[in-house]
Structure 1
Amino acid sequence: MCHDSASSSYKRTKSYKPFTSISACIAAGGRLPKSATKQMDKAIDDATEHNRDFVTLYDRADWPHWSDQDRDCQNTRHELLIIDSNAPLTFKTEKQCLVIFGAWYDPYSDQTFTNSSDLDVDHIVPLKFAHGHGADQWTREQKEKFANDYDNLLLVQASLNRQKGAKGLDEWLPPNHQYRCEYISKFNAVMDNYGLNYIPAEQRIINKMVKACGA
């Protein structure tokens, strides 16, 4: 039986063989619990309803994120905190690996934050959204590149990032109205850069948005 770390059975299981992802477990002959099978059935129904191909179940573990690609002890999140701060930084230790304080403007809320713990790094095009719009066929290396691409990352208020979740343009826009057209433009640019495609119903709505923005 294949369980991810979010499963209630995960912590209760004492004897198990670890895998890097749910996909790897299934490939080795494992099977999903009934609850996950129901999720797959729902995904198939959703794909049929929207006239698109069914994609494999999304597994966040397949998308390595917050990598430290240059091995300097600062992962993608903390490098972004360093790059985007509008004030001198305070680090947790002298090694300067972890950023604690600075000043960051969040365009979603139109507010400035000084404590890094108040911020999440948002994927403009969410990983799960990308997965359902063509990225399910990518290699692990391609997924890692996408998950750590600065052009697809923004420091934003944590609660807004969680409110957005994996929603696309037709389901969520920043509460800061003045930033919405720029957000739409950035979202579309990432989709184009990575060859991702909207379903027809989404595309019709987004075309109207772009037209309203005067683009």
Structure 2
Amino acid sequence: MNKTRVFSFAFALLSIPALLGTVAAPEAAAAHGASADAVAATAPAAVLTAANELQGYFTPESPDVPAKLTVPKKAPKVAIADTSETTGTALVLLDSLAVKKQKSDRKYDRVKKFGVAWLDVGGRGCDTRNEVLARDLTEVKAKGCQVLSGKLSDPYLGAKLDFARGDETSSLVQVDHIVSLRNAWQTGAQKLSQAQRESLANDPLNLRAVNGASATIKDGRNAADWLPENTAYRCEYVAQQVSVKATYDLWVTKAEKAAMKKVLSKCAKEPAQSSPFTPKLKESSSSDSQTTKAPATTAPAPEPAPAPVPEPAPEVVPEPEPVAPEPAPEPAVTGVNPGGFCSTPGVVGTAANGRSYTCGGNGPDANGKYHWNK
């Protein structure tokens, strides 16, 4: 980094409090009980200003693609051993989460505790950042695995953004953790294994391509302190947070749960979502093993009866073959989560942004699970 860029970066960091004055004050108010709605209501101007000042820089939690790909030592592993598939509504699932106080983040370390970013989880020679960009962007142009350009419908601001890979432009679109790794560390991830934490950091359920400035401002805040400016996305955003916390056995604070319930009460039917890392359940064969055949018994053969004199059989006119009814059309699926778990390969669904996705469009993953793909 040359002297000019060092100076620019230092100036940007020093200028953030002033540039985000319309955000910082409400955030401070939120910390003392003010609603997160009031915080987000003043965000757009500050977000755009911050985007200009922070151009060319990534956050420690959401860095650029790595210089060298690293394959994790263990396969993706969610917190619950038998199944972490979350079904039903997010509002009902929220009530299953434990409510506790937030722990200290003193020992939080992104690389040591959650793995090098970004890992090549599938062992396909592609890092998580590029996989998410390819999933969330449209009009994607790529060179092999690396996404070079595309268009983003940013869910946090509800704005259209152009993405172009480059030293000064890549960080304008970042891959954000829906439940930040710092917040996860403070709400239960400390008791997870290293493999589980690395899975959480690279789980498609917990990742979304967004504008870089919003990701920077959000930082490690939970739903009580920060919500997307785009109100149309809040239901899905909170539903994803609830689903991630349920999948990885994380808890919520009292204020966080109240904020989540306030959002979800306006969309009570918002579905919970499942991680593609959820282990595939094995069908039980216990009922087969318990089934025994009764011993065969031999009955004495009856005396043969005298053969009757056959009468001529009447001519039988065969009835026409029944015509099978036309199969009912496959029902359309709406509100799908791109990259999320699905059960019926070939079914076409529509996401909240209006784009079409096919269940299992790219075939099953390493665990035999299907996902919504373009």
Task: Decide: shared fold, TM above 0.5.
Answer: yes
Question: How much has 1:72 moved relative to structure 2?
Answer: 3.6
Distance 1:54 1:182 in 2: 28
Distance 2:236 2:101 in 1: 29
Distance 1:102 1:111 in 2: 14
Which residues of structure 1 form unaligned runs of 5+? 1-49
Give 1:155's match in structure 2, choosing from 200, 205, 209.
209
Partner of 1:74: 126
Partner of 2:195, secondary structure, is: helix
Which residue type is aligned with residue 107 of structure 1? P
Partner of 1:80, secondary structure, is: helix
2:239 matched to 1:185? yes
The 1:184/1:69 distance shift into structure 2, 3 A limit, reads: closer
Q: State the superposition RMSD in angstroms.
A: 2.1
**Structure with more contact order per residue of length (Cα contacts < 8 Å, sep ≥ 6):** 2
The 1:97/1:52 distance shift into structure 2, 3 A limit, reads: closer
2:114 matched to 1:60? no
Which residue type is aligned with residue 197 of structure 2? K
Distance 1:173 1:204 in 2: 13
Distance 2:101 2:178 in 1: 25
Contact 2:156 2:229 in 1 (8 A): yes
Partner of 2:257: 203
Distance 1:67 1:57 in 2: 22
Contact 1:63 1:144 in 2 (8 A): yes
Per-residue CA distance 1:70-110 (angstroms, 9 max, x = gap): 3443200011112223114143xxxx242221122211111
The 1:123/1:55 distance shift into structure 2, 3 A limit, reads: closer
Per-residue CA distance 1:179-212 (angstroms, 9 max, x = gap): 1121111111111111111122322333233223
Contact 2:205 2:244 in 1 (8 A): yes
The 1:112/1:73 distance shift into structure 2, 3 A limit, reads: farther
The 1:152/1:53 distance shift into structure 2, 3 A limit, reads: closer
Per-residue CA distance 1:136-192 (angstroms, 9 max, x = gap): 111111110000000110000000100100110000011111111211111111111
Give 2:149's match in structure 1, choosing from 91, 101, 104.
101
Which residue type is aligned with residue 128 of structure 1? R
Distance 1:69 1:51 in 2: 32
What is the TM-score with the length of structure 1 in the denominator? 0.68
- Would you tell me which structure has more helix in proportion to its own residues? 1
The 1:170/1:81 distance shift into structure 2, 3 A limit, reads: same
Partner of 2:194: 140
Which residues of structure 2 form unaligned runs of 5+? 1-99, 165-169, 270-374
Partner of 2:139, secondary structure, is: coil
Distance 1:89 1:120 in 2: 17
Q: Percent identical across equivalent pairs?
A: 31
2:221 matched to 1:167? yes
Partner of 2:30: none
Distance 1:147 1:89 in 2: 26
Distance 2:257 2:148 in 1: 40
2:159 matched to 1:111? yes
Aligned length: 162
Which residue type is aligned with residue 188 of structure 1? V
What is the TM-score with the length of structure 2 in the denominator? 0.40
Partner of 2:214, secondary structure, is: helix
